[in-house]
């Protein structure tokens, strides 16, 4: 047996080199995997959705705020708005409860990129505080409680998540599906049409 090792030292050297090469290949693969995980972790967006009502001096306002509390930009792919579990295409049930002459600001949100630490208010409704009080205000706030938002967004590496305003935990999903309509854009168009009439 010892004679075989002496006469086949080249074969043993080749086998040793092959083992070392395989070990180096595994280490390189493992390092690449760790680096990919670090890259993905360094750009994870986390979107928080808040509904708000506020009074500043003599003006009341209510609306939605999306804030990216993560460490990377969020590609917002789809936003769906629900009233009591039913998908909505506008905010008409809320608008009918607002006093005449209320102010509305809106911005389209589907397809928007939200930087880390940034926020956007896709819809804000405001009115003079004295124009709506008592039962009217109670009815508006009760209506506002029926509404919820579902959001789907992705990182720059196309990792996607879905979450909502109902405090449900965000869930990783394969990809987002963009809706046919943008509820915030629809609200702006309806507002423009109403102003023209």
Question: Distance (Å, rounded) from C-alpha 163 to C-alpha 149?
Answer: 8
pLDDT for residue 142 = 94
pLDDT for residue 25 = 64
Q: Is-above-0.85 flag for pTM? A: no
pLDDT digits (tens, 9 = 90+) for 116-158: 999 999 999 999 988 988 899 999 999 999 999 999 999 998 9
Question: Roughly how many angstroms between the first and final C-alpha of the chain, as a whole number?
Answer: 101
What sign results for the dihedral spanned by CA atoms 126, 53, 194, 112? Answer: positive
Per-residue pLDDT of the chain (197 residues; tens, 9 = 90+): 556 556 665 665 666 667 666 666 655 555 655 555 544 445 789 999 988 988 888 999 999 999 999 999 999 999 999 999 999 988 999 989 999 989 998 888 888 999 999 999 999 999 998 898 889 999 999 999 999 999 999 999 899 999 888 766 788 999 998 887 788 877 766 554 444 44
The DSSP symbol for 67 reads E
Question: Distance (Å, rounded) from C-alpha 11 to C-alpha 189?
Answer: 78
Count the neighbouring beta carbons within 10 Å of the beta carbon of residue 127.
19
CA angle 154, 159, 162 (to 5 degrees): 55
Residue 133, token pair as written in the block: 């009080």
Q: By C-alpha distance, which of 121, 112, 124 is closest to 191? A: 124
């Amino acid at each position: 047996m010892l004679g075989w090792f002496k006469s086949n030292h080249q074969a043993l050297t080749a086998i040793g080199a092959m083992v070392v090469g395989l070990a180096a290949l595994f280490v390189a693969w493992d390092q690449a995997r760790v680096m990919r995980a670090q890259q993905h972790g360094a750009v994870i967006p986390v979107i928080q959705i808040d509904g708000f009502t506020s009074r500043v001096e003599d003006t009341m306002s209510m609306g939605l705020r999306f804030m990216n509390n993560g460490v990377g930009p969020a590609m917002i792919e789809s936003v769906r708005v629900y009233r009591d579990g039913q998908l909505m295409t506008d905010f008409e049930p809320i608008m009918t409860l607002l006093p005449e002459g209320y102010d509305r600001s809106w911005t389209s949100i589907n397809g928007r990129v939200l930087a880390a630490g940034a926020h956007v208010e896709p819809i804000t409704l405001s009115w003079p505080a004295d124009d709506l009080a008592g039962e009217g205000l109670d009815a508006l706030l009760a209506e506002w409680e029926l509404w919820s938002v579902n959001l789907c967004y992705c990182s720059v590496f196309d990792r996607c998540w879905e979450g909502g305003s109902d405090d449900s935990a965000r869930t990783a999903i394969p990809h987002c599906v963009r809706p046919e309509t943008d509820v915030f854009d629809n609200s702006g168009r309806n507002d423009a049409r109403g102003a023209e009439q």
